[in-house]
Amino acid sequence: MNNLQHARNSPSSSPGPVEISIREKVIMLTALLQPASITITNDSWQHRHHSAMRDQENNGETHFSVQVVSDAFEKKTTMQRHRIVYSALSDEFARGLHALSLKTKTVAEVAASGDGRS
Amino acid sequence: MFRPSLRSSLRSLHRTAPSTLLASRLVAYRCISDDVRAKLQSAVKASPVVLFMKGTPAEPQCGFSRAVVQILDLHGVPAEKMQTYNVLADQELRSSIKEFSEWPTVPQVYVNGEFIGGCDILIGMHQSGELETLLENNGVIPKIEDSASSEAEAPASEKATS
């Protein structure tokens, strides 16, 4: 059963084009990874002062955190897991997505860490 | 603790961040030339630990780069075994390193020429203990033995490559 969570911590009320696009890609990822849970958080507001961000036109959508729990990550290194998510989001990087903080775990790893949030 | 020596060993690379983000985006997905690839290939092997970051260890310009510097510092990576490159001071480096590593974000860490990962991976490896093992096995930091020698061995001659 897929339990998709879309958390938004940004002060802005509605998702911008980059976030919408990440959501769409997450649906692709859903087919690919069959994730138990996905959480997307827009952290861009924390980086508004960031020197490289000042003249970005899409200032509100540059930094995101994505947490994916999927058994498709089984027997893959962290780097391989991150590459899977990064490759799904290459268009977003080309369009100004700047930083993506990833947490990629399997269901068993989440259970073992006691950090269960699904 | 290593911070002062770290700072002194670095060339004063930090300049104001170039504001040509658009330009960097336009070139971000072209193919890097063989020449650039060869340069990066030797750059990642210039030192046992090579860090591509925003800013300098003394003045990181990004929280993720700062976190990586702090983790390497925490493990006692000696300055003479680490080379850092400030991608904000070099637009070509900034775009080409992403393609070279096939990794879309900076910071990026290499150990003995091998790509290890970015901030999230370093934090994860630090927490699991893998990073310490990796640095020990690559001769970057001394293995901790019972009759512990507390500091790194005699520093090798310093080299500054750019």
CA separation for the pair B124, B80 (Å, rounded)? 25
Q: DSSP strand E in A1-98: where?
A: 3-4, 37-42, 63-69
B148 contacts: CB under 8 Å, gap ≥ 6: none
Q: Which of B17, B28, B105 sits opposite A94 (nearest CB)?
A: B28
Q: Determine if the pTM surpasses 0.90.
A: no
Q: How far is CA A101 from the centre of its chain?
A: 7
CA distance B49 to chain A (A): 18
| Chain B residues lying within 8 Å of A98, measured CB to CB | 105
What was the pLDDT predicted at B36? 92
B15 contacts: CB under 8 Å, gap ≥ 6: B88, B89
Hey, are the CB atoms on A51 and B61 less than 8 Å from each other? yes
Chain A residues 82-111 within an 8 A CB cutoff of chain B: 82-83, 86, 89-90, 93-94, 96, 98-103
A2 contacts: CB under 8 Å, gap ≥ 6: A30, A34, A35, A36, A37
CB pairs under 8 A between A and B: 52
In 3D, which of A49, A60, A52, A47 has the Cα closest to residue A18?
Answer: A60
Task: Give A44's pLDDT tier (boundaries 50, 70, 90).
Answer: confident
Q: Which of B17, B29, B119 sits opposite A51 (nearest CB)?
A: B17
ipTM over 0.85: no
pLDDT tens digit sequence for B95-145 = 999 999 999 999 999 999 999 999 999 999 999 999 999 999 999 999 887
| Chain A residues lying within 8 Å of B126, measured CB to CB | none
